């Protein structure tokens, strides 16, 4: 696929506007996250990730000590990811403890910096070329650069520069040497380095960091075929691939070049038309691209889920395509939140939809670090400035303040229990009556959206699923838009490994079976349970995952039953995907061609 536009690259967008070249300037601009206060489940996850995870870590023992010792032969900790997460949480929340933590982490990390610039955990003779050392240093540069960007800390910028200069000097001095010693493909071994150097370039405006990304890392020329499976040098590493696509999009913003978009469009085509995306918005098996639609043990590395979201956000900024918002909400409410215990403390490396799930054993390493980083970025994906007005991308209880052109300050408040229901009130308070457009994402899953303004029908606003509905008029303080996105449960048809089965989905939420709630299923192979599509009910209140959460019910037959005539054997309660006990989402149905089954609206043949 050689598309040069987002619209052409998103197969589901073929029914939308005609292709046009990627614009030079972004169409959507994010708000400062400090001006977005998010409640609802996204807000709750921010809170529990801060209180019960970030602030509950043993930062000294688990993260800092190895950098003080610097006596290891190999290994990876993820100190840079932790610094980046702490800086973002401190900036987002202004929380005193988060601020203390980030200051201490940065100060203690900078104390470990060698005179040559090195910050790491390896012995002198193992540095740079041993697997993960550049990866570790890249995220340290990134975290320190973030601290400078968000807090103006000069020491952090100085440390980041020294470290980046060390990496560039050592790497370019031996152009034939391969980081990771050829054990893995270089782009995986140094995951994150391009984004780190771009972040540092943004803070310093120094050409050498941009040159490194463009020329040394050949970021424009990276063609990146989708390699399926895990073998050889792990070419098809989903997280590394997405991370590099993000860097390409960021470089494209500075130096537009169609080559920088091609890998992104190839991934989109693979995800949406090549079975690369799974129903809960997760990708990859055992970290690598996969298209079997299996959801066992090693589904969806959490790092890949985090980078999917960041990559969708980059695309949305560039092109404002509403399908990217649909993709975001699918991944956030399922794959991402499923990767964390409901109380926030524990993180998963993989989040399967078939079979039991387990938590990662510790707090260091890639997935816990990338989970902590993406959570404080979520408020930045709720609203965007678009075309002089505001685009509402994610539905969640929240308040935000946006500076619009012509000196208008807009306060916006969403009153909603979304995703429990699809009723969303958007209350607008501009600083003075002013005309500007309000965009509301109408998800592809929503067949019958409705919109009113101050209780009355709103003429001239097209409510078409898969678009942003645009209401353009003069807005007055207190104007209240009420959006109704009915979310009846739908049965989504499985593909490939899930052929002949279906999953219960409502709005963006995927529902699954927690066997612990069903003693009668203790020794039953869930793959042989058959559900009756005529019997889906819900939503019912269910607080297993979150306050105000939901569940659905469906009647089912036991393995071997003479369905569809036999009496039902079970009434299954299906809880939200993030239920830690979820171990099945797809169930057999009597008739795989049942007209009540629908395709996943996010994918296209
Ligand atoms: Zn990971």
pLDDT tens digits, one per residue of 327-372: 999 999 999 999 999 999 999 999 999 999 999 999 999 999 999 9
Going from the Cα of 290 to the center of ligand 1, the distance in angstroms, rounded, reads 16
Cis peptide before 539 (omega within 30 of 0): yes
Alpha carbon of 350 to ligand 1 centroid (Å): 8
Predicted pLDDT at 566: 97
Ligand 1 centroid–CA 503 distance in Å is 27
The number of beta carbons lying within 10 Å of the beta carbon of residue 8 is 16
Q: What is the pLDDT of residues 2-31, one digit of tens each?
A: 344 555 555 444 433 334 445 568 999 999
**Rounded CA separation 272/6 (Å):** 13
For 481, phi then psi, to 5°, come to -90, 130
Residue 467 within a domain: yes
588 and 446 in one domain?
A: no
Question: From ligand 1's centre to the CA of 514, what distance in Å?
Answer: 25
Binned at pLDDT 50, 70 and 90, residue 181 comes out as confident
The CATH code of the domain that includes 128 is 1.50.10.10
Dist. CA 130 → ligand 1 center (Å): 19
Q: Which residue has the higher pLDDT, 25 or 126?
A: 126
CA of 370 relative to ligand 1 center, distance in Å: 7
CA of 214 from ligand 1 middle (Å) equals 26
373 Cα: distance to centroid of ligand 1 (angstroms): 12
pLDDT of residue 19: 40
Whether the pLDDT of residue 60 is over 60: the answer is yes
Centre of ligand 1 from the C-alpha of residue 9, in Å: 27
The pLDDT, as a whole number, for residue 254 is 95
Q: What is the pLDDT of residue 16?
A: 35
> Taking the mean position of all CA atoms in its chain, how far away is CA 80?
19
Q: How confident is the model at residue 183 (pLDDT cuts 50, 70, 90)?
A: confident
Identify whether 603 is part of a domain: no
Distance from residue 525's CA to the centre of ligand 1 (Å): 30
Note whether residue 45 is domain-resident.
no
Q: Which of 484, 501, 522 is the last residue of a domain?
A: 484
Q: What is the pLDDT of residue 7?
A: 57
Structural domain includes residue 278? yes
Please tell me the distance between residue 303's alpha carbon and the centre of ligand 1 in angstroms: 4
- Residue-wise burial string across 370-381, b where 16 or more C-beta atoms lie within 10 A, e elsewhere: bbbbbbbbbbbb
Determine the distance separating the centroid of ligand 1 and the alpha carbon of 349, expressed in angstroms.
6
Asked if residue 114 and residue 164 are part of one domain, the reply reads yes
Verify that 91 and 213 share a domain, yes or no.
Answer: yes
Q: Distance (Å, rounded) from C-alpha 449 to C-alpha 577? A: 25
Q: Residue 358 C-alpha to ligand 1 middle, in angstroms?
A: 14
Determine the pLDDT at residue 2: 38
Note whether 281 and 250 are same-domain residues.
yes
Last residue of a domain, one of 429, 461, 484: 484
Query: Do 513 and 460 share a structural domain?
Result: no
Select from 451, 484, 517 the last residue of a domain. Answer: 484
Q: What is the DSSP string of 556-598?
A: EE-TT--TTTSPP-EEEEEEETT-TTB---EEE-S-TT-TTEE
- Residue 451 Cα to ligand 1 middle (Å): 41
Is residue 21 in a domain? no
Q: What is the pLDDT of residue 604?
A: 81
Distance (angstroms) between ligand 1 centre and the Cα of 301 equals 6
Measured in angstroms, how far is the CA atom of residue 185 from the centroid of ligand 1?
17
Q: State in Å: Cα 287 to ligand 1 middle.
A: 8
517: in domain: yes
* Ligand 1 center from residue 426 Cα (angstroms): 36
* Ligand 1 center–CA 311 separation, angstroms: 16
How many Å lie between the centroid of ligand 1 and the Cα of residue 476?
47
**Residue 306 Cα, ligand 1 centroid: separation in angstroms?**
9
- Beta carbons within 10 angstroms of residue 259's beta carbon: 14
Domain match, 186 and 251 both: no
Are 209 and 112 in the same domain? yes
Ligand 1 centroid to 368 CA: how many Å?
Answer: 7
**Rounded average pLDDT over 461-479:** 96
**Is the domain of 194 the same as that of 108?**
yes
Residue 30 · residue 381 · CB < 8 Å: yes
Residue 49 lies in a domain: no
User: Do residue 236 and residue 342 come from a single domain?
Assistant: yes
Mean of all residue pLDDT scores within the chain? 95
What's the token pair of residue 135?
Answer: 């990866």
Residue 140's pLDDT is what?
98
Q: State in Å: Cα 19 to ligand 1 middle.
A: 35
CATH code of the domain in which 410 resides: 2.60.420
Same domain, yes or no: 451 and 516:
no
pLDDT computed for residue 405 by the predictor: 87
Q: What percent of the chain has pLDDT over 70?
A: 96
Alpha carbon separation from 459 to 11, 146, 440, 450 (Å, rounded): 30, 45, 15, 11
Domain shared by 374 and 392, yes or no: no
On whether both 335 and 460 belong to a single domain, the answer is no
The alpha carbon of 277 and the centre of ligand 1 are apart by a number of angstroms equal to 18
Total length of the chain: 605
Q: What's the domain count of the chain?
A: 4
Whether 106 contacts 160, CB under 8 Å: no
Q: What is the mean pLDDT of residues 189-202?
A: 98
Q: Give the model's pLDDT for residue 357.
A: 98
How many angstroms is it from 367 CA to the middle of ligand 1? Answer: 4
124 C-alpha to ligand 1 centroid (Å): 26
492-509 average pLDDT score: 98
Query: What range does the domain containing 392 cover?
Result: 385-484
Average the pLDDT over 395-411 and give the result: 96
352 Cα: distance to centroid of ligand 1 (angstroms): 14
For residue 240, give the nearest of 84, 318, 135 by alpha carbon. Answer: 135
CA 239 – ligand 1 centroid, Å: 7
In-domain check, residue 456:
yes
What distance in angstroms lies between residue 132's CA and the mean position of ligand 1's atoms? 13
Do 341 and 359 contact (CB within 8 A), yes or no?
Answer: yes
Is the predicted pLDDT of residue 282 greater than 70, yes or no? yes
Q: CA 267 → CA 232, 235, 238, 263, 327, distances in Å?
A: 21, 14, 10, 6, 13
């Amino acid at each position: 696929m050689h598309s040069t536009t987002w619209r052409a690259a998103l197969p589901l967008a073929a029914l939308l506007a005609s292709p046009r070249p990627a614009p030079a300037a972004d169409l959507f601009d994010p708000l400062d996250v400090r001006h977005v206060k998010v409640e609802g489940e996204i807000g709750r996850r921010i809170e529990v990730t801060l209180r019960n995870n970030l602030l509950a870590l043993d930062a000294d023992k688990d993260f800092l000590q190895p950098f003080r010792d610097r006596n290891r032969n190999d290994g990876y900790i993820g100190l840079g990811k932790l610094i980046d997460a702490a800086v973002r949480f401190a900036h987002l929340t202004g929380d005193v403890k988060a601020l203390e933590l980030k200051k201490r982490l940065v100060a203690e990390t900078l104390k470990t910096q060698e005179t040559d610039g090195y910050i790491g955990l390896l012995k002198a003779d193992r540095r740079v070329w041993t697997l993960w050392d550049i990866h570790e240093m890249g995220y340290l540069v990134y975290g320190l650069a973030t601290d400078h960007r968000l807090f103006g800390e000069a020491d952090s910028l100085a440390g980041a520069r020294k470290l980046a200069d060390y990496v560039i000097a050592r790497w370019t001095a031996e152009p034939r040497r391969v980081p990771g010693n050829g054990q893995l493909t270089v782009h995986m071994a140094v995951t994150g380095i391009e984004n780190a150097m771009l972040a540092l370039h943004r803070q310093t405006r120094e050409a050498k960091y941009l040159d490194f990304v463009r020329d040394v890392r050949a970021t424009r020329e990276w063609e990146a075929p989708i390699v399926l499976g895990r073998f050889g040098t792990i070419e098809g590493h989903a997280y590394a691939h997405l991370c590099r696509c993000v860097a390409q999009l960021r470089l494209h913003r500075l130096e537009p070049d169609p080559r920088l978009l091609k890998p992104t469009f190839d991934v989109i085509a693979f995800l949406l038309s090549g079975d690369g995306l799974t129903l809960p918005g997760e990708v990859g098996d055992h970290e690598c691209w996969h298209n079997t639609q299996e959801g066992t043990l090693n589904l969806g590395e959490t790092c890949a889920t985090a980078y999917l979201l960041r990559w969708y956000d980059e695309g949305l900024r560039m092109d404002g395509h509403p399908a990217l918002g649909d993709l975001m909400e699918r991944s956030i409410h399922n794959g991402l939140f499923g990767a964390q215990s409901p109380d926030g403390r524990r993180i998963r490396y993989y989040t399967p939809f078939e079979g039991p799930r387990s938590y990662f054993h510790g707090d260091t390493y890639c997935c816990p670090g990338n989970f902590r980083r993406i959570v404080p970025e979520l408020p930045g994906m709720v609203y965007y400035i678009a075309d002089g007005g505001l685009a509402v991308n994610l539905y969640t209880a929240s308040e935000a303040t946006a500076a619009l052109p012509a000196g208008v300050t807009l306060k916006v408040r969403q009153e909603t229990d979304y995703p429990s229901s699809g009723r969303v009130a958007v209350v607008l308070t501009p600083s003075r009556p002013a005309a500007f457009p309000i965009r509301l994402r109408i998800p592809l899953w929503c067949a019958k959206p409705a919109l009113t303004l101050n209780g009355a029908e709103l003429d001239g606003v097209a409510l078409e699923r898969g678009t942003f509905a645009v209401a353009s008029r003069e807005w007055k303080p207190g104007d209240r838009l009420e959006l109704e996105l009915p979310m009846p449960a739908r049965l989504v048809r499985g593909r490939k490994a899930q052929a002949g089965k279906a999953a219960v989905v409502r709005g963006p939420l995927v529902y699954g079976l927690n066997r612990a709630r069903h003693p009668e299923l203790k020794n039953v192979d869930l793959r042989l349970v058959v559900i009756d599509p005529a019997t889906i009910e819900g939503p019912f209140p269910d607080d297993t995952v979150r306050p105000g959460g939901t569940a659905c019910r469906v009647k089912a037959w036991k393995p071997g039953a003479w369905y569809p005539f036999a009496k039902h054997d079970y009434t299954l309660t299906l809880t939200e995907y993030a239920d830690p006990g979820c171990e099945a989402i797809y169930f057999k149905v009597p008739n795989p061609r049942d007209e009540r089954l629908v395709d996943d609206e996010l994918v296209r043949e």
